[in-house]
Amino acid sequence: MFSNKFNKEKMLFKRINFSSATQPSMFQATIEAECDFKIGKDFAPPQNKMMTVFIDDMSMPFVNKWGD
């Protein structure tokens, strides 16, 4: 509900769900896909917007003893 208050002309919102299959490279690629390449090795949201990333279930990076 908090993200619904964002001005879509000034702010990008990206929601990412982590699971036991989430790899760091997958997370990085997801973020970079939303951004433009700037000078050097810098990435930034397009059109001088700001970006908020919501990470859901970050506490599940590994398979637990139940297999999920």
pLDDT given at position 67: 67
Residue pLDDT, tens place only, 1-33: 788 888 888 988 988 888 777 788 888 898 888
SS3 41: coil
Instruction: Please provide the average confidence, as pLDDT, over all residues in the chain.
Output: 82
CA nearest 36: which of 27, 46, 26? 46
Q: Where are the domains of the chain?
A: 2-56
Looking up tokens 């919102």 gives: 13
pLDDT over 70 at 57, yes or no: yes
Distance CA 35, CA 28 (A): 11
